[in-house]
Structures are given as C-alpha cells and as structure tokens.
Chain A
C-alpha cells in the first residue's frame, strides 16, 4: 500500500508537498533527538564521572540526572536568547 496515495484515487505517483514535508520533519526530528542524546551523554559524563571506577556511585548517578535536567533548561535559556535576538523584519 503506497502511503502517499491520494484518497481521491487519482493516478497520483507524486506524493503531496504536505506528505513530503511531514517525512522531512520526521527525519529531522529523529536526527535532532539523536544529536541531543549524544551531546547530553558526553557533557554529563564529562561533568559527573571524573574518575571512572568499577561502578557508577550514587552521587555520580544523581549528578547525571541533575545534569540532564540542567542541560534541557540551558537549551531553553539559549533558545529564548536567540529568538529574542532575531530582528522583527527577518
């Protein structure tokens, strides 16, 4: 079943612009999620696991949890600063 078939049953071999954009957006969202995961993992490992030992300690684990929360918060702060810097006419 072609997911891009139009419901009118017309002989459409081209997907609609909306369907193409939806696919693009899904791919972008996936790529973004993967990049975010990799970044947060690397940043928080760097901040919280300074001397790797034979297991993650309780304080290392809670540091990592806090780090994830703080990184998401930082993303929001940066995002707002960037959007507030965009001139109106852009």
Chain B
C-alpha cells in the first residue's frame, strides 16, 4: 500500500515548505524593519550608505537574535 510512503513523503515536503516560508517571513520582517531604519526619501537609486545600512542592518539583527538566544540559555543554567 502506497499511502504510508505517501504520508512520509508529504511530511518531508511540508517540512521543506515550512522552512522556506519561515525564511520568507524573516526576509519580509527584516526588510520592513531595516527600510524604516535606513531609507530616507526614496530616490531613483539607493545611496551607497543606504545600501550598506540595509545589509548591515540584516546582519546585526541576526547577530542580535543569536546573542539573545545565548543570553536566555545562560540564564537557565
């Protein structure tokens, strides 16, 4: 009977979609937050400082996230 193999396959594919969706959501949220921090009045292109700010913002946000995880972890010891 194929149905249990199908179920396992479906489970695997759903996990992949879930990961992809979570990554998408992270990018969306980061773009929103970093846009507010980095972009002034929209011009016909970004200035180099706006581009750098956006890229830095994303990286610093991820580092902040990791730092907070470590902090919570150490609080539990």
Contact = CB atoms under 8 A, between A and B. Distances in A.
Interface of A: 14, 16-18, 20-21, 24-25, 28, 32, 35-36, 39, 43-44, 47-48, 63, 66-67, 69-71, 73-75, 77-82, 85
Q: Is the interface of B mostly helix, strand, loop or mixed?
A: helix
A20 B9 CA distance: 11
Interface of B: 3, 6, 9-10, 13-14, 17, 21, 23-24, 26-28, 30-32, 34-36, 38-39, 41-46, 51, 54-55, 57-59, 62
Contacts of A14: 3, 6
DSSP majority for the A interface?
Answer: helix
Contacts of A79: 27, 31
